[in-house]
Chains A and B, each alone.
Chain A
């Protein structure tokens, strides 16, 4: 028997009037994998999730769960679990009844419902609260009830629609780690929609970066962050210094990028480039350093003037004007040598730390 991916999207398309919300996307999610759909609002990530859940009918393409096409099935026949941004708990039911809902619908024996609900509540660390009204719970507790409700009947896939957006910042981060742990333990395949790149990087096995209804890139968090394949991905994930230019020289592993005003930067690359190709050079703020004159010179180095400095606690954000551009630097506090606006500094970065992107 061949093993099928848990979720398989093929040529999935959805239009709203003239607007193509999801434009023929293809994706495979392996069993037990946690994959994020990441993108700005309006990129089609929620529309995609709603089609997988069955709330929206695709205009074209297919959705297969464990090899079975579910495109024609209503939501209640897809055996999926879903966690909503608004929690969407049933306000007239206790915590226990909320979690038990999916089991009661499946007409399981009473004793089994009792046992499963308590197991699920223990898994989300809410044991003992089963008698509570959902109105008496905090936001984090509500979202854990919602998670238990979605997992208790062992769904084939778990769908999460920005589940932590309504929580405050600290709790949000704590819930991420908890979600990953619960998802691993439940061994459930999860599709997670978010616009928060840090959240996606924190929890995902793979990230699907979406823009304007299309998939820009699919890869591990490290991949999409370190080796973005487009300017959009480079810019959307974290901060990026982007410089437009052309390839001045290229070998199999290196490329020299020349800007319109004649500056040259050296980069390492795995893609084949030809001289004259239009491109963008991207370097992350944390890869830029302020260099002292005694340092071994990094491959790329410029002199400039400090424009501003902000201290964020763990890091310093410094804006430097050099070669007619503003450069953003993120310097860790432990390696911080004080600079002030107006100071002349040399900044630079190493060739492996920057990426050459298609224009």
Chain B
């Protein structure tokens, strides 16, 4: 067994790296989130839960959290609905066509989020391509407001995160042998039944992984929401950034960050429980 023979030495660099740059900062963040803060004196070490209390009782932050969850959920569903047929189609391709399709699907990752968001500004603005088209065809008489609202943020995030969904789906779809689909088909299952009873459950792990990935990245995004909402919509990460960089209220920012982490972990658990339940129904 290869697993057994790998010397622990090989794992040390990764362990040390993650320890130094993930676990330690995380613990630090937890510690800071209990500190006191005043505008005049800055941070003072303490152990009090005031920041969490504010977060949980102030309606403004409820709104931010709900906006973030709603936008992330819609982005996740949208990238799943767009990504699934695309990934399915890509598994059917062969050779150079597969490589080209793969490149096209993943190419967006090579361009900075800032530049891509600015690109959406051009497309969605009142004088942008879409509005010009709508005006020219007479469907609308005055430009539709596409920018600086939730719609723009959702479009921008979906486009930015779609590659992550496609990669996850491809991995699990490619692992399904064609003969299994053929076996279902010969046994009398039409396309819909093959999809619902075979393809869907067998690709569920990929759906779950991709959804979680997209959801987690969406909840922690701050560039795209800021640019495409023009600052009208604050997502959780925007609050964190503002507290750390603008008001320098690190303790409160840390508390927001920890809350976000807990929310994502809860979603992860929910997702895991759901997947197991759904798969259990087929057994």
Chain A residues engaging chain B, CB cutoff 8 angstroms: 53-55, 74-82, 84-86, 88-94, 97, 101-102, 105-106, 133, 146, 149-150, 153, 159
Could you list 14 further interchain pairs (A-B, Cβ under 8 angstroms) beyond the known A77-B188, A90-B183? A53-B182, A54-B186, A55-B185, A76-B189, A76-B190, A81-B187, A82-B182, A89-B183, A91-B180, A93-B283, A94-B283, A102-B187, A133-B283, A146-B183
The answer to the question of B202 belonging to the interface, with a C-beta cut-off of 8 Å to chain A, is yes
Q: Are A75 and B198 within 8 A (Cβ)?
A: no
- Report Cα–Cα, A77/B186, bound state, in Å: 8
**0/1 string, B189-229, CB within 8 A of A gives 1:** 11001000110011000000000000000000000000000
Which A residues are CB-close (under 8 A) to B190? 74, 76
Binding site for A on B (CB under 8 A): 177, 179-180, 182-190, 193, 197-198, 201-202, 279, 282-283
If over half of B's interface residues share one DSSP class (helix, strand or loop), that class is named, otherwise mixed; here it is helix
A356 CA / B282 CA spacing, docked (Å):
60
Are the C-beta atoms of A74 and B185 separated by less than 8 Å? Answer: yes
Whether the pair B182, A106 counts as a contact (CB closer than 8 A) is no
Q: How far is the CA of A75 from the CA of B178 in the complex (A)?
A: 14
The answer to whether A84 touches B282, judged by C-beta atoms less than 8 angstroms apart, is no
Can you report 27 residue pairs joining A to B where beta carbons are below 8 Å apart? A53-B186, A54-B185, A55-B182, A74-B190, A75-B186, A76-B185, A76-B188, A76-B190, A80-B186, A81-B186, A82-B183, A84-B183, A86-B179, A88-B179, A89-B180, A90-B198, A92-B201, A92-B279, A93-B282, A93-B283, A101-B187, A101-B189, A105-B188, A105-B193, A149-B183, A153-B188, A159-B186
A149: B residues at CB distance < 8 A: 183, 187
CA distance A102 to B188 in the complex (A): 6
Check B186 against A76 for contact (C-beta < 8 Å). Answer: yes
The residues of B that contact A106 with a CB separation of less than 8 Å are: 188
Interface centre among B180, B182, B186, B201, by most chain A C-beta atoms within 10 angstroms, is B186
Chain B residues with Cβ below 8 Å from A153 are: 187-188
Closest residue on chain A to residue B185 by CB atoms: A75
For the A-B complex, the count of residue pairs with Cβ-Cβ distances under 8 Å equals 75
Bound Cα distance from A184 to B186, whole angstroms: 21
A150→B187 CA distance, assembly (Å): 7
Given contacts A92-B282, A92-B283, A93-B282, contact A84 B182 (CB under 8 A): yes
Task: Sort A-B residue pairs by CB-CB distance and give the 4 closest, nearest first.
Answer: A102-B187, A88-B179, A88-B183, A105-B188
Q: A331 to chain B: closest CB distance in Å?
A: 43
| Pairwise interchain contact B182-A88, C-beta atoms closer than 8 A | yes
Determine the distance from Cα of A225 to Cα of B70 in the docked complex, in whole angstroms.
73
Residues of chain A with a CB closer than 8 A to B177's CB: 86, 88
When the two chains form their complex, are residues A90 and B182 in contact, meaning their CB atoms are under 8 A apart?
A: no
Contact partners of B186 in chain A: CB under 8 A: 53-54, 75-76, 78, 80-82, 150, 159
| Chain B, Cβ-Cβ closest to A99 | B187
**Neighbouring B residues of A91 by C-beta, 8 Å:** 180, 202
Query: In the docked arrangement, what's the CA distance between A153 and B187, Å?
Result: 8
A90-B283 in contact given A76-B190, A81-B187, A149-B187 (Cβ < 8 Å): no
CA distance A82 to B188 in the complex (A): 11
A150 vs B188: C-alpha distance when bound (angstroms): 10
Inter-chain contacts of B183 with A (CB < 8 A) = 82, 84, 88-90, 146, 149
